[in-house]
Amino acid sequence: MDFAVSETGSGSEDLTLLYDQYNGLRRRHAGFLGYPVNLAIDYRAFGELLDTLWITVGDPSTGYQPRLGLQPFEREVVRFLAKLSGARPDRTYGYVTSGGTEANLYGIHLGRQRLPEAPLYFGATAHYTVERTARLLRMEPVRIPCRRDGSIDPAALRAACVRRRGRGAVVVATVGTTVHGAIDSLPEVLDAIGPAGRHHLHVDAALGGLVAAFAPSPPPWGFDAGADSVAISGHKLIGAPVPCGVVLAREELVGSPAEVDYLSAADSTLSCSRSGLSVAFLWYALRQLGRSGLATRVHRCLETADYAVRALSRTGHRPWRHPASLTVLFERPPAPVCRRWRLATSDNLAHLVAMPHVTRDMIDRLCRDLG
């Protein structure tokens, strides 16, 4: 197949190539267990809506007359997620980002602005882009060892802060680490960073935050537990069909936005022009679900994760998961099984993530492959 972009352009066969890719993606859904994306989605109703440019610019604030009209949709997305995150929506700044990485970058950037000399502390199992963000913002990265379950070690964090006493601390706590699905204890983190002095606590809650919000015994994870900023993914549990995220922050930490005359807009975002389609997708998904629908989705996923632990136990692969996590860890199976089921692996471990599209039948078939 020829994917090259030519000098003269091409014809209708281009759509055939894209449909081939679409059909291949759909077929692979039947064996997609290892990554935290939600494949149980249906946005076909958007078909005719794609015949225009969906773009938004600047803050989704109420202080000006928007030319593009998406601000009310974005404000509602921010309001809904701020409330779930334990914040007061009327005192919370937020916007729809390109994904969790931009949301983390924004939260850490706020900490950098507040505490210019502070190092960036993060657990060894934090997302790999957190350390990259430290380099981008010219912060000292301090990688903290983790406990056996993958959560940050508070004793090691305190020791690191003692060695840098008084410099302040920008800290990333993770709610649902990439491999282990571990949840950093915010109360322990806040206690541990005391020797550093002033602090900014950013929470990477890309997947785990919304799970924690509806877990039977919710761990403290959001603004009501001491967070200053929070990142949530839009294409994971919520299920947008394109990568996107939402960043939330205490409004008083953001400061006065830049006024952009030619846009008639105020702008504190990192990206300026942003995907209006992501805004529309998130608003539509949350509008369809509501709080009760999102809670039902989380409970069903948690039940599937419990089922996976029981089923994998019978195969002798010694599964484990955090009670408020959808990630199930187990002994790494042979490579053909990992490929067939798209299992994420690290060292001698593999994991599956009980996302909304994952069924008990899929888990049973995985277990049969495991013998």
- Report the alpha-carbon distance of residue 106 to residue 173 in Å, rounded: 15
Torsions phi, psi for 300 (to 5 deg) = -65, -40
* Residue 325 among the catalytic residues: yes
Instruction: Report which of 95, 121, 251, 259 is spatially closest to residue 184, judged by C-alpha positions.
Output: 121
- Report the alpha-carbon distance of residue 140 to residue 303 in Å, rounded: 41
| DSSP per-residue codes, 280-335 | HHHHHHHHHHHHHHHHHHHHHHHHHHHHHHHHHHHTT---B--TT-SEEEEE---H
- Name the β-bridge partners of 29: none
- Token pair of 2, please? 């020829």
Query: Which residue among 85, 229, 325, 346 is the active-site one?
Result: 325
Q: How many CA atoms lie within 13 A of 128 on its CB side?
A: 1
Residue whose entry in the numeric block shows the structure tokens 């066969």: 13
User: Between β-strands 327-331 and 265-267, what pairing exists: parallel, antiparallel or unpaired?
Assistant: unpaired
- Confirm if 247 and 97 have CB atoms less than 8 A apart: yes
* Number of helical H runs and strand E runs in the chain: 11, 14
Name the residues annotated as catalytic: 325
